[in-house]
Amino acid sequence: MQDLLDQMCRRVLRHENEKQLESAIPRLAIGAFRQSEPTIMAVSAGVCLILQGAKQMMVGKTMLRYSAGGCFASLIELPTTCCIFEMDGDKPYIGTGLTLDHEMFTSLIADMPEERSKKEMLGFNVETVSRDVLEAWDHLLALLDTPSDIPILAASRERELLYRLLQSPHGPLLRQIGREEGKLAQIRRAIDWMRHHFDESFPIETVADIAGMSVASFNRHFRAATSTSPLQYQKTLRLQAARRLLASDVDATRTAYAVGYESPSQFSREYSRLFGRPPKQDASQLRENISDVSAIVI
């Protein structure tokens, strides 16, 4: 499989943009990192494939490490994840990611034989990909070399990749995206609500009711799915939203109030604790580097 990984690396290096991870192909991200400093990134529901190097990723309190040929999949939006991109000697870390299109995914699952296993999974996992998955992913990446083909062929090649992923060890996890019942589906409903109301104060009973669970059950299943607590999840949603506002040149005080903080000083303390720099300093750094760190899987 190394031949395919090398070919995919060359494709990414031809088209990478140091300040933009999104590619010309809808929902597809590509990137090469040449330093190993810890980076805070947002991760949407999707899959990430490492092509070269390795990555350490802290999801809540869970540390994951995977290398070339390893694939991370998540059905839960993870608002802040600490990543350390490990280079392969003098070669950069290279990765590619695909944000999941819910409509395409559920349509594909409906066309496939029903999966017998109803076992509940965590909201994310890491697996080693097969050659079939690599070939389908390379098939999608190849469109970067012929951009005029993207509007016509990208959807069918994305569907091919999703099909191969559903046949892979990621399949049991990914199939849950189409389920309307089950503990993970209940947690996802609560998370969807929290993402639209992160700037509000609300009791834990409110989101537990949305999930259709008792408070104790909700806390337990939420932590299993996200590796963090509901309170910490809301806090990181607020701080991630604040980071986007700061990167677009909104001042720190206005940002604090906009994301639901009543105290700018508390906002500054919690922001610095999470991102490692005060709001103003971090915003300056962001504007010089990646322009938007939201909703990226890579």
What's the pLDDT tens digit per position in 161-171?
A: 999 999 999 98
Please name which of 179, 189, 226, 234 lies closest in space to residue 210, comparing C-alpha atoms.
189
Q: Which of 138-152, 160-174, 186-200 has the highest mean pLDDT?
A: 138-152
Same domain for 204 and 172, yes or no, is: no
Query: Is 166 within a domain?
Result: yes
Q: What pLDDT is recorded for position 40?
A: 76
For the chain, helix (H) and strand (E) counts, in that order, are 12, 9
Q: What pLDDT is recorded for position 211?
A: 94
Query: Is 78 within a domain?
Result: yes
Which pLDDT band, with edges at 50, 70 and 90, does 117 fall under? Answer: low
Query: Is 293 within a domain?
Result: no
Same domain for 172 and 199, yes or no, is: no
What's the pLDDT tens digit per position in 54-110?
A: 999 888 778 899 999 999 999 888 877 788 899 988 999 999 999 988 889 888 988
Is 234 or 286 the better-scoring residue by pLDDT? 234
Same domain for 165 and 253, yes or no, is: no
Same domain for 37 and 108, yes or no, is: yes
Q: What pLDDT is recorded for position 232?
A: 92
Query: Is 294 within a domain?
Result: no
Question: What average pLDDT does the segment 274-291 reach?
Answer: 77
Same domain for 30 and 173, yes or no, is: yes
Question: What average pLDDT does the segment 234-253 reach?
Answer: 90
Please determine, for residue 292, whether its predicted confidence score (pLDDT) is greater than 70.
no
Please determine, for residue 177, whether its predicted confidence score (pLDDT) is greater than 80.
no
Is 224 or 191 the better-scoring residue by pLDDT? 191
| Residue pair 50/67 in contact by the 8 Å Cβ criterion | yes
| Residue pair 97/32 in contact by the 8 Å Cβ criterion | no
Taking all residues of the chain, what is their mean pLDDT, rounded to a whole number? 88
Q: What pLDDT is recorded for position 119?
A: 59
Query: Is 297 within a domain?
Result: no
Boundary (domain end) residue, out of 178, 213, 229: 178
Query: Is 298 within a domain?
Result: no
pTM of the model: 0.83
| Cross-sheet strand order for the sheet of 78-86 | 39-43, 78-86, 54-59, 62-67
Same domain for 225 and 157, yes or no, is: no
Please determine, for residue 287, whether its predicted confidence score (pLDDT) is greater than 80.
no
Any idea which of 31-40, 69-78, 130-139 has the lowest mean pLDDT? 31-40
| Cross-sheet strand order for the sheet of 93-99 | 28-33, 93-99, 46-52, 70-74, 124-128
Residues contacting 23, CB < 8 A, separation 6+? 15, 29, 30, 144
Query: Is 31 within a domain?
Result: yes
Give the count of beta carbons closer than 10 Å to the beta carbon of residue 27: 19
Same domain for 264 and 135, yes or no, is: no
Same domain for 118 and 207, yes or no, is: no
Instruction: Name the percent of the chain lying above pLDDT 70.
Output: 92
Number of domains in the chain: 2
Which pLDDT band, with edges at 50, 70 and 90, does 224 fall under? Answer: confident
Same domain for 38 and 11, yes or no, is: yes
What's the pLDDT tens digit per position in 150-163?
A: 999 999 999 999 99
Q: What pLDDT is recorded for position 121?
A: 59
Same domain for 34 and 63, yes or no, is: yes
Q: What pLDDT is recorded for position 289?
A: 62
Is 23 or 182 the better-scoring residue by pLDDT? 23
Query: Is 296 within a domain?
Result: no
Boundary (domain end) residue, out of 149, 178, 207: 178
Same domain for 16 and 146, yes or no, is: yes
Contacts within 8 Å (CB) and 24+ apart, 99-102: 99/27, 99/29, 99/44, 99/45, 99/46, 99/295, 99/296, 99/297, 100/27, 100/44, 100/45, 100/46, 100/47, 100/75, 100/162, 100/174, 100/177, 101/27, 101/158, 102/45, 102/177
| Domain boundaries, position 269 | 183-288
Please determine, for residue 185, whether its predicted confidence score (pLDDT) is greater than 50.
yes
Residue 152 sits in a domain whose CATH number is 2.60.120.10
Residue 273 burial by CB count (10 A; 0-12/13-18/19+): exposed, middle or buried?
exposed
What's the pLDDT tens digit per position in 245-260?
A: 988 888 899 999 999 9
Boundary (domain end) residue, out of 153, 178, 203: 178
- C-alpha span between 290 and 198 (Å, rounded): 24
Same domain for 198 and 143, yes or no, is: no
Please determine, for residue 197, whether its predicted confidence score (pLDDT) is greater than 70.
yes
